[in-house]
Chain A
Amino acid sequence: MRRSSECGSAEHLISRRQALGTLAGAAVGGFGLSSLMQEAVAADMKQKGKQVLFIWLDGGMSQFESWDPKPDSEFGGPFRSIKTSVPGTHISELMPDTAKIMHHLAVVRSMSTKDPNHSTGVPRMQRGDPANRGVPYPYLGAAVTKLLGFPANGLPPYIWIKPGSAGFIYQEAGFLGSKYGALALGDGKPPIHIHRPESVTDETDAARHELRRLANARFRLDRRDSEVDAYEQSYEMAVQLMKRKELFDNTRLPAKDIERYGTHPLGRHLLQARVLLEAGVQFVKVTSYHWDTHGDNFNMSQQMVPQIDKPFAAIVNDLEDRGMLDNVVVVLMSEFGRTPTINSRIGRDHWPDAWSLALAGAGINRGALIGKTTKDGAWVDGEGYDVGDLFHTVFRALGINPNKAHYDNNGQPLPIVRDDCFAIDGALA
């Protein structure tokens, strides 16, 4: 299999040279030209107001029971493949609603990654599998926040809707600094204390905020900026959210929408994601856990895959109906797929060797079916793509040239993507 990193096309070689040249220039210039370029990129993006919906099915959804069914192969499951809105493209019968919106999607069936473990695979995938630069790289949401800049609407730029606990997950920011972390909404609920007590008047509230700012300014005198920035950032986000309490008022949601998305966690969380994207939140991550179906894969998939099928189709349709799909990059993926072989518990194990993901929205080539697997579904047939290639693709879809933009780590320029990877062929419009 020819890997992206081995690609020798003239176009890629030029891209690599350009990237290396940019990095070299950045290294010499420090905060000079490259920083200006960075600011220009961010300003441009701010104007366009691109957004991201990143859906993460933690544990690994089976590609056989979703995007790449092989019902007639020795490794195929028992479910049928069905036609989609793209002639010639079939997916699992467990995804009937998604089949109807296939013309909005680009499905990549030739992901081939390296890590078969959850503990290392999840951060590796969500960080774009960066080369070791001696610093923790940011997760995609934090990276996009840095690269696009904080949106003018004052809302948290990176919100993570997840089951379980809430909080500010600064760890996802990596070396970028805590303020680029994710505001996690446990079970989609608003942060606690979002409602100001009635006894606190507007005047009192303004006074206490002023006091906090003064205290911060004094505190900042002998502290690293990033620590105070993160604190101030999170506080300001909280203030903005307190003004937008309606974003968490589910009674405002039409019953029909609740029905269309489903009342299970993924349905509720994706509907919440739509509300947040409509409000202008720049990056929304929605996580669903327990997709690691080592046991009883087929009974579990039969129950679980419809839980992504229905709300995923609903949100893509809604984004399209609202004219937002041209502006929002949608990614639906896991850390890997699942094994072709079926184990003793009638389950499937981890399979990074050949698996699928779906893209939609801004900058994405709609209706594209990218790559293929061998007849038995076990291996990529042709060129495989790594997560570094995905990051190139997502950044380019956002209008960010990954070969020009870079991070500035206290004067040290760092690439935002692996420089041995490239955008997935055919994924971009």
Chain B
Amino acid sequence: MPKPAANESVESLLSEAQGPAFDPAKAHIGPAFKHERQLIRARFSADGKFVAAAGLDKLIHVWDLESGKKHTLPGHATWVSSLVFHPKGRQLFTADFHGTIHCWDFATPDSKPLFTITGADANITRALAVMLDGAHVLSGGDDCTVRVWSTKDGAKVKQWPGHKGCIFSIAVHPDGKSVASGDLFGTVKHWDFATDKCVRDLDAKELHTRKEDFIADVGGVRCIAFDAKGATMVIGGLSNAESNAFCPGTPLALLFDWGTGKKTQEFKLANKSDGPINAVRFLQNGMIAGFGETQNGAQTELAFWQPDKSEPLHSLKAQSAYDLDIHPDGLRLLAPLFIPMGSGGNGAREKQKANYIPNASVVQIFNLFADPKAKDPKNAKKKA
């Protein structure tokens, strides 16, 4: 992959959205927003006009896609673990490693939270999702309980205990009535929002490894997504972990028939990659996109799978990513990518003290259509 076009103008982004034809096989990198610290979550706003991203610097970074301008929200006391936009209004929900959830007016720079939920989890709140009607935000994390909060004031509405391991992911089914939550041990629970009952467990134990000599559990259902009609669900994570130290394994995404609860496909990455698939999304033609994570700052890939094939139809090489979102126009993906800053690897670095800085990230947009510049023969001539 060529170097990301960091902080490239995004003024054309929204106008381009009117024209190009969706074609994930011709996906290419688009605008990008570089940041000097590692970001691990990034999402488009529901109206597609903003991008929010957060991670290790505890702040919430918001970019206006029309102007390219960025503003920052004060953020959290610790790393941000999850963020999700309200489907209608100007609310942005962010969660952190201390079990706190903030609700922001994301368009107002430096604003204070509209409300804050403390103790949303006994430890880390790892996942957030908003119901389709926008009335409730759901959270899940280390204490194995899905909690339902009012988006008006953050009041707790109800909670669903039942997971045996920490919850890594939550997704709302397109029917607006069902919720799926995935945990460390590879169990996906199907909840009925109205009755608060766990309808069933879906088995994805491939995404958890605990060998005899391990001293920790590795893996988990790191992400969940439904197709537009809700007929299928895709989840991602890591299978066959070889140790609990490097945690190397086989990145794996699994497709489920939501009606029967049966696994129908396994998706693999095309290139060498040893970390989990952290994020998956359905595209408008039913294809699935997923992003990998790999060691040593090497490149992994953004893979595009057809539902009936295990190997990707198309891949874009890229640095590790920890989240993936799709623009409301269906023509662009968004991911926070790792950027190595030369301080990686094992130590004994005293001589490099002056240049020892944290790794960084770029919030990268991937266009799901042919690159107009690449097609333009005039541009081609100029490049030649």
Seen from chain A, the residues whose Cβ lies within 8 Å of a Cβ on chain B are 1, 59, 71, 74-75, 77-80, 114-117, 163-164, 264-266, 288-296, 298-300, 302-304, 307, 336, 339-347, 349-353, 378-379
5 residue pairs of the A-B complex, CB under 8 angstroms, read: A79-B97, A295-B245, A303-B215, A303-B217, A349-B347
Q: Could you say which residues of chain A place their CB within 8 Å of the CB of B344?
A: 339, 341, 343-344, 349
Q: Is the CB of B248 within 8 A of A289?
A: no
Residues of B contacting A: mostly: loop
Residue of B nearest to A288 (CB): B215
Which residue, B214, B216, B356, has most C-beta atoms of chain A within 10 A? B216
Contact of B359 (CB < 8 Å), options: A163, A288, A295, A343: A343
Q: Is the CB of A295 within 8 A of B215?
A: no
Q: Could you say which residues of chain B place their CB within 8 Å of the CB of A379?
A: 350, 353
Q: Is the CB of A351 within 8 A of B347?
A: yes
Residue of B nearest to A354 (CB): B347
Q: Could you say which residues of chain B place their CB within 8 Å of the CB of A347?
A: 246-247, 295
Q: Is the CB of B348 within 8 A of A353?
A: yes
Contact of B243 (CB < 8 Å), options: A71, A290, A349: A290
Seen from chain B, the residues whose Cβ lies within 8 Å of a Cβ on chain A are 37-38, 40, 56-57, 78-79, 81, 96-98, 123-124, 142, 213-218, 243-248, 274-275, 293-298, 319-320, 322, 338, 340-341, 343-350, 353, 356-359
Q: Could you say which residues of chain A place their CB within 8 Å of the CB of B142?
A: 302
Contact of B293 (CB < 8 Å), options: A294, A303, A345, A352: A345
Residue of A nearest to B347 (CB): A351
Residue of B nearest to A112 (CB): B350
Q: Is the CB of A350 within 8 A of B347?
A: yes
Residues of A contacting B: mostly: loop
Q: Could you say which residues of chain B place their CB within 8 Å of the CB of A339?
A: 343-347
Q: List the 7 closest pairs (A to B, CB-CB), nearest first.
A: A295-B247, A78-B97, A350-B346, A292-B245, A303-B216, A78-B79, A351-B347
Q: Could you say which residues of chain B place their CB within 8 Å of the CB of A300?
A: 216, 218, 244-245, 247
Given A264-B215, A292-B245, A292-B246: A336 in contact with B347 (beta carbons within 8 A): yes
Given A342-B358, A344-B293: A294 in contact with B246 (beta carbons within 8 A): yes
Nearest Cβ in chain A — how far from B295, in angstroms? 5
Q: Is the CB of B213 within 8 A of A344?
A: no
> Once bound together, how far apart are the Cα atoms of A114 and B286, in whole Å?
54
Q: Could you say which residues of chain A place their CB within 8 Å of the CB of B40?
A: 346
Contact of B215 (CB < 8 Å), options: A266, A342, A352, A378: A266
Given A294-B246, A303-B216, A351-B347: A345 in contact with B320 (beta carbons within 8 A): yes
Q: Is the CB of B347 within 8 A of A352?
A: yes
Residue of B nearest to A380 (CB): B350
Q: Could you say which residues of chain B place their CB within 8 Å of the CB of A350?
A: 346-347
> Once bound together, how far apart are the Cα atoms of A349 and B37, in whole Å?
18
> Once bound together, how far apart are the Cα atoms of A302 and B38, in whole Å?
20
Q: Could you say which residues of chain A place their CB within 8 Å of the CB of B297?
A: 343-344
Q: Is the CB of B244 within 8 A of A290?
A: yes
Given A265-B215, A292-B246, A303-B216: A344 in contact with B347 (beta carbons within 8 A): no
> Once bound together, how far apart are the Cα atoms of A345 and B273, in whole Å?
11
Q: Is the CB of A342 within 8 A of B56?
A: yes
